[in-house]
Chains A and B, each alone.
Chain A
C-alpha cells in the first residue's frame, strides 16, 4: 500500500501538479478560518511532522532530506508555517473583535508599557544565548559538506545554489539568465521597497487583520510562500542530477532521460502553424512575441481598469500608483505563466532575439 502511495506522491510531485496544488490549496487555506486556530495549528504541525517521520523510512527520501545541507530547508518549512499560522490567527482574532465592535488586540495591549531594561534586553540576551548554543551544537553534530578541491572543469551534479537562492535558480530554468538573474531579482527588491508607496491604504497599520486587506495579503503571501519558499523546497528536494525533476520518493538516477526539447514561440507560429520557415529579420520573426508582451503589459492593465474589482483600486490609488503596481504584479505573474507555458507547450522563449541577447 505504501508503494502505491509513494507512486502517487511521486506522480503529483511533478511541478505542473505540485505547483498547481500548492497554489490552490494555499490560497484556499488562507480563507479557511478553522485552520488558523490553536487546534488547526496543532493539526498542521502534527500532520507535517508525521509526514516527515513516516517518509524517513523511505531510503530515497531520507537521502535527500537528511543531508546536512538540507536541514535549513526542513527548518524553513516549519518556521514559515509557524509564522504564517501565527499572523493569520492574530488576524482572524482581530477581525472577530472588530466585527463585535471591540478594540483590536494590539490596541488593548498598547496601554501596557514595560521597560527596555530589563524586560526587553533580558529576553534578547536569553535568545542570544540559546541561539549561540544551538549553532555550536549544530556545527559540531552536522559536518560541513566539504568536498575535494574545486576544479573548474567539473561541476557537482546537480549543482545547487545556496538554499536561499534556489528559488532564483528555479526561475533560471524558465527564463533567460539576464531576465532571471538580473531583471527579475532587481524588480523583486525594487517592488518590495515600493510597496509602502504604492499601497497607501492605512487599514491594518499596527494591527493584524485579514478581512480589511484580503487581496493584498493573498497577493503578498502567494509571492512569498508559493513563488519563493515553495520553489526553494522544489529546488532542494526535487531537483536531481542534470537538474532533472524527481519525485519525493524517486531514486536520483543520473541517467534518467526526460525529453525537454524546447521550442520558441516564433518557431510555433512560422514553422508549425504557417509552415513558411523563420523570417530572417529579427523584428518580423519575433513580432508575435513582442505583440503578445505589449498586449500583456500595456493593453491588459488598461483593460483591467474597466473591471469593477480593479476600478475600485484605480480610483483609490490614482493612475500612476495603479499602473506601477499592476506592472509589478504582472511581472511577478510572468513567472507562473512562463512555467505553465513550458510545461504545457515546451515553450522556450516568447521573444528570442539572439542578436541583442534579449530573450523573454
Chain B
C-alpha cells in the first residue's frame, strides 16, 4: 500500500505545474524512473508438486465432464419412445386386395404398397432404388414414377425408364394363421436382381 502511494506521488511530480516550471529553469535532470513493483510472493512459490496436483485435478475434471457428455450422447441414441411405425405389421385379409389394384393405404404410414398382380400379392417398399425418394403410383399410366429424377417402374416393380439401375425391393409377406391377416415384415427384403422374388416368402397367392 505504501509502495503504491509513493509510486503515485513519484509519477505525478513531473507533471506538476510547479515542478515543471522549476525543471524549465533548472538544468535538465533525468527524471528518476518509478520503482518496479516486486512480483507477488506466492506466484513464485508454485512448486513442481503443487503444479502437478492442480493439473491432475483439472484433468480429472475435464475427463469427467467429457465422459458425462459422451454418456449423455450415447443414451440419446436409445430413446425411451420410438415414434417410428413397427417394421412388422398387419394390413388386412387377402380379400381386401382385389386383383390388379395397387393399394396405397399403407404408403404414408408404413412406406409400402400392397399390390395384387397376376394372382400374386406382394409388398413393394416405396423407396426408389436410384437415390431413395418415394415414388408415386400413377394409376392412369400404370406405373410407379419417381419425382426426383424420373425413374419409372412397372406394376411388378421392375424398372424400365429413367436412371434407376435396379427394380424396387419387396418386403417379406405372409399370412398369419391365427387371424388370416396378411403380415408384412419390412425388415426382410427380397431383391429381384438376386433372384429372390422366386422366394415363397416374397409373395402370397391370392385365392
Residues of A within 8 A of B (CB): 151-159, 169, 172-177, 180-181, 241-244, 255, 257, 259-262, 348-349, 352, 354, 357, 359
* 8 sample A-B contacts, Cβ–Cβ < 8 Å, listed by A number: A152-B134, A153-B111, A172-B130, A175-B163, A177-B131, A242-B150, A260-B161, A262-B162
Chain B residues lying within 8 Å of A243, measured Cβ to Cβ, are 146-150, 162
Q: Is the CB of B147 within 8 A of A157?
A: yes
| Given A153-B107, A243-B150, A255-B140: A176 in contact with B163 (beta carbons within 8 A) | yes
Q: Is the CB of A159 within 8 A of B140?
A: no
The 5 tightest CB contacts between A and B, nearest first, are: A243-B150, A157-B147, A260-B161, A153-B108, A159-B148
Chain A interface SS verdict (over half)? loop
- Min C-beta distance of B91 to chain A, whole Å: 15
The A-contacting residues of B in range 123-166, CB under 8 angstroms, are 126, 130-131, 133-134, 136, 138, 140-141, 145-150, 152, 160-163, 165-166
- Min C-beta distance of B188 to chain A, whole Å: 20
Q: Does B25 contact A (CB under 8 A)?
A: no
- Min C-beta distance of A151 to chain B, whole Å: 7
Q: Is the CB of A255 within 8 A of B141?
A: yes
**A260 — nearest CB in chain B belongs to which residue?**
B161
Chain B residues lying within 8 Å of A175, measured Cβ to Cβ, are 163
Chain A residues lying within 8 Å of B111, measured Cβ to Cβ, are 152-153
Q: Is the CB of B165 within 8 A of A352?
A: yes
**A358 — nearest CB in chain B belongs to which residue?**
B165
Chain B residues lying within 8 Å of A173, measured Cβ to Cβ, are 149-150, 162-163
Q: Does B3 contact A (CB under 8 A)?
A: no
Residues of B within 8 A of A (CB): 107-109, 111, 126, 130-131, 133-134, 136, 138, 140-141, 145-150, 152, 160-163, 165-166, 193
**B147 — nearest CB in chain A belongs to which residue?**
A157
User: Of B108, B136, B152, B163, which one neighbours A151 at CB under 8 angstroms?
Assistant: B108
Chain B residues lying within 8 Å of A242, measured Cβ to Cβ, are 136, 138, 145-147, 150
- Min C-beta distance of B164 to chain A, whole Å: 9
Chain A residues lying within 8 Å of B131, measured Cβ to Cβ, are 172, 177, 181
| Given A152-B111, A176-B165: A159 in contact with B147 (beta carbons within 8 A) | yes
Q: Is the CB of B130 within 8 A of A158?
A: no
Q: Is the CB of B162 within 8 A of A158?
A: no
Chain B residues lying within 8 Å of A349, measured Cβ to Cβ, are 165
A169 and B149 CA atoms in complex are apart in Å by 7
Chain B residues lying within 8 Å of A159, measured Cβ to Cβ, are 133, 147-148
Which of B107, B140, B152 is packed against the most chain A CB atoms within 10 Å? B152
- Min C-beta distance of A91 to chain B, whole Å: 38
A153 and B193 CA atoms in complex are apart in Å by 24
Q: Is the CB of A359 within 8 A of B160?
A: no
Chain B residues lying within 8 Å of A259, measured Cβ to Cβ, are 161
Chain B residues lying within 8 Å of A152, measured Cβ to Cβ, are 111, 134
A154 and B138 CA atoms in complex are apart in Å by 14
A158 and B131 CA atoms in complex are apart in Å by 14
User: Of A153, A260, A354, A357, which one neighbours B150 at CB under 8 angstroms?
Assistant: A260
Q: Is the CB of B147 within 8 A of A359?
A: no
Q: Is the CB of A174 within 8 A of B163?
A: yes
- Min C-beta distance of B198 to chain A, whole Å: 16
- Min C-beta distance of A244 to chain B, whole Å: 7
Chain A residues lying within 8 Å of B146, measured Cβ to Cβ, are 242-243
- Min C-beta distance of B163 to chain A, whole Å: 5
| Given A154-B108, A242-B145, A243-B150: A354 in contact with B193 (beta carbons within 8 A) | yes
Q: Is the CB of B147 within 8 A of A262?
A: no
- Min C-beta distance of B20 to chain A, whole Å: 38
Question: Can you name 10 extra interface pairs (CB under 8 A) apart from A177-B130, A262-B160?
Answer: A152-B134, A155-B133, A159-B133, A159-B147, A173-B149, A173-B150, A174-B163, A181-B131, A255-B138, A260-B161
A231 and B133 CA atoms in complex are apart in Å by 21
A118 and B48 CA atoms in complex are apart in Å by 53
**A160 — nearest CB in chain B belongs to which residue?**
B148
Chain A residues lying within 8 Å of B160, measured Cβ to Cβ, are 261-262
- Min C-beta distance of B148 to chain A, whole Å: 4
Chain B residues lying within 8 Å of A255, measured Cβ to Cβ, are 138, 140-141
Chain B residues lying within 8 Å of A174, measured Cβ to Cβ, are 163
Chain A residues lying within 8 Å of B145, measured Cβ to Cβ, are 242
**B136 — nearest CB in chain A belongs to which residue?**
A157
| Given A153-B126, A154-B134, A260-B161: A354 in contact with B166 (beta carbons within 8 A) | yes
Q: Is the CB of B147 within 8 A of A260?
A: no
Chain B residues lying within 8 Å of A357, measured Cβ to Cβ, are 165
